[in-house]
Amino acid sequence: MTVLLLNASYEPLAVVSWKRAMTLVLTGRAEMVEQDGSRVVRSAGGVEFPLPGVVRLMQMVSFASMRAKRSPNYSRAGLVARDNGECQVAGCEKPGSTVDHVIPRSRGGDNSWENCVLMCLSHNSRKGDQSLEELGWTLKQRPVAPHGLMVTLPVARKSDWAQWATSG
C-alpha cells in the first residue's frame, strides 16, 4: 500500500510506503492530510492508528527540484506512466500493452527512454523489426526521458490523488 507524500507547500513529492508515512507522522515530521478510507494500523500493544492516504511534510524540502534535474532509471512502470498506458502510434486509441523499440534491438536499438514506447499488441506485432519510417507510421509524441514527478505520481496514482497532482 502506498501513500502520497506532499511537501509543506502541498506540492506532490513522492509515493512512499505506508510504513514510511507512518514513521514520518509518528515522529512529527509530517501530518496526515487524508486517511486511507477507514483502514487502521494496529500496534503490537493494541493501539490503533488511522492509515494515511496522503501525508504532508512539516518543513519544506527541495527533493522534487533535485529529482527534476536528473532522469530516473528506465523502467517499464515508468514507461507506462510516461505514455499514459496508451498505444503511441498516432491515431490508435487502444491501451499500450507491449513495449516497442523505435529502433529495433536487432538493428542496434537499446532499452532507453528515447527508444522505447508503448504499443498495442496489434501494432507491435505488425511492426516487428521494421522502423516506423518503413511502415509510414508516426508517434503521438517523441519519446523522451521523463523528469521530476512525471514518473513518480502516475505509476502508483490512486484516483483520490488527482487533486494533489495539480497542486503546488
Strand 48-57 relative to strand 30-42: parallel, antiparallel, unpaired?
antiparallel
Q: What is the predicted pLDDT for the residue at 15?
A: 81
Exposure of 5 in the CB half-sphere (CA atoms within 13 A):
25
User: Which parts of the chain have pLDDT scores under 70?
Assistant: 63-71, 147-168
> What is the predicted pLDDT for the residue at 12?
81
CA distance linking residue 22 with residue 41, whole number of Å: 9
Q: Model pTM?
A: 0.56
Query: Whole-angstrom Cα distance, residue 54 to residue 75?
Result: 25
- Give the start-end residues of each E strand in the chain: 2-6, 12-17, 30-42, 48-57, 98-101, 116-119
What is the structure's pLDDT at 73? 80
Quote the percentage of the chain above a pLDDT of 90. Answer: 47
